[in-house]
Structure 1
């Protein structure tokens, strides 16, 4: 059973709009849209000003540990237009991106990678827009 996740109302609205736009353009695999949509449906939604800083929101920068390899990673969860794998900017429409949204520091998250299921742990939120008073990023 998956853990509960928490997202902001603003992220919810923007991501619903993103899903609808991507369904129309058909530029993204439908499976990725379905996974994100499923995550959004099960999420608890809160006002952006009330989310606590340990939660992963859009445009958050994170420190993670790959539980299989022990490798430490730093990445930022972004919208598809801003994604750049080399810079560590992971799209919310990627399997890892949609898996991270709404989880918090200390959580272990399982996601479907090309080589099979992977597990990562969220070690630290390096930056969260809402914690910095940025509610329109």
Structure 2
């Protein structure tokens, strides 16, 4: 499981994920420990407006580089909702174990998470793209 830090999440991502937890897809996977962990983290999360999110936080549709602490392998993924997931295109579902692990964490954070093959530890190396920091605000 991830640490007991509070994740940071946008209000819209929080609302969309809450809806997703009650979807048929999530109900089919509801007994998975990593989904229960994500729900717990969301319950403790710091929820912010998109324009208040720090630029180094992993939000939905962010592209991130993560480094496996054990192998030192670096992978790049875009965190997406299940309907957009395509691992061949490096689009990682938020309902996948590593997808649930990185949401709301920041560059430099060390994350450990239980996946089917055991406990993995990785560092969020870089938030390459984050929609909130690329949004143009009109006043």
Instruction: Name the residue aligned to 2:97.
Output: 95
Provide closer, same or farther for how the CA distance between residues 118 and 58 of structure 1 changes in structure 2, counting only shifts above 3 A.
same
CA shift, 1:80, in A, is 0.5
Instruction: Name the residue aligned to 1:35.
Output: 37
Instruction: Name the residue aligned to 1:8.
Output: 10
Contact 1:9 1:45 in 2 (8 A): yes
CA shift, 1:2, in A, is 1.9
Aligned-pair Cα RMSD in Å: 1.8
Instruction: Name the residue aligned to 2:77.
Output: 75
Alignment of 1:14-25 (within 5 A): 14-22=16-24
Alignment of 1:34-53 (within 5 A): 34-53=36-55
Contact 2:35 2:100 in 1 (8 A): no
CA shift, 1:34, in A, is 2.1
**How many aligned residue pairs are there?**
134
Distance 1:39 1:63 in 2: 22
Alignment of 1:95-114 (within 5 A): 95-114=97-116
Distance 1:33 1:18 in 2: 11
Which of 56, 59, 70 is the equivalent residue of 2:58?
56
Distance 2:73 2:4 in 1: 24
Contact 1:59 1:129 in 2 (8 A): yes
Structure 1 alignment gaps of length 5 or more = none
Distance 2:101 2:108 in 1: 14
Structure 2 alignment gaps of length 5 or more = none
Using the size of structure 2 for normalisation, the TM-score is: 0.88
Instruction: Name the residue aligned to 1:65.
Output: 67
CA shift, 1:134, in A, is 6.8
CA shift, 1:95, in A, is 1.1
* Alpha-carbon displacement from aligned partner over 1:82-125 (angstroms, at most 9, x marks no partner): 11111111111111111101000000111112221000100111
Distance 1:29 1:69 in 2: 30
